[in-house]
Structure 1
Amino acid sequence: MERQLIAALAALALVAGCASPQPAPVQLVDQQQYTKAMRDNSSTFTWPESRKPDLAVLAEKSGPGRDRAPSGSERIVLEITNSCACYLGWEDARKRGDQAAASQALKVMDEVLPKFSPEDPDGQRYARETAAKAKAGDGSQAADYVANNCDSVLWK
């Protein structure tokens, strides 16, 4: 994930604010605040045992750097990273034949990931479709998500 993601989020937040009758002021955070928020908020996610992100690296790669980012933008990065962890955790469990872990990952894929980003119904639909395909044994959409969103994540 690159700094362009943060710039896009900032632009989206500003545009979304312009569309509302009384836009709430967008709070901006610096890199240190962003990193702290990422650390604090990561504990609200369930991470597969073998797929926990290195939060320092994630915050450095996705944060605002010398600029500022909208407060809450770390949540979107954590949601994307958690989706990566779940999809990869599911595939890891399938490869090693661990049905219990694969079943648990499918449950998260089906019940948790589609609830991420309520402001993004297309993303929620994609998560539901990915879970449905995975339940049917087709991991192609999960693999596609991983290929397009997870390459910069360093796992611990």
Structure 2
Amino acid sequence: MQSEIKSCAFTGHRQIKKEHISLINERLGAAIEYAYSQGCKRFLSGGAVGFDTAAAREVLRFKLAHPDVSLIMLLPCVEQDRLWSDRQKDAYEYILSNSDEVRYISDSYDNICMRRRNQALAEECDIMIAYLSHSISGAGQTVRMAQKLGKSVFNLYHDIESRLKNSI
């Protein structure tokens, strides 16, 4: 692993297992704290519903105590939230309005904007924090892209699964 981590990207599934919800923020907080202790000040999120927005919210919480941290939203297209519920849109708007930077890969949705967003996340990070239970997904694609570029990927899904099994 690199001696100093400058940027960390998040990728994960839109659906978080019900039994994982109680641990997801705790594990995200610990992962963000670790990345920060290694020099990371830039956190990147693709802004999708589920893990991406949970990670972005956790970075915003972390920023309250660490104002030197920045949250960069790398979004596939302007209307990413077009089909979301009002509650999801409100949470998304809160994240965007409190982010340090918002970048759109495309002005409108097209066949490749999601893939290009995933590639941008993989290219711009030093490490990646994932929530990945299966690899046939956009999150799986993003993790493969990061690994192909030699980036370290930490999968919180397996960490949470083992914590739940050990608590039984």
**After TM superposition, is the score higher than 0.5?**
no
TM-score (norm 2): 0.29
Name the one with the larger helix percent: 1
- Bigger Rg, structure 1 or 2: 1
Name the one with the larger strand percent: 2
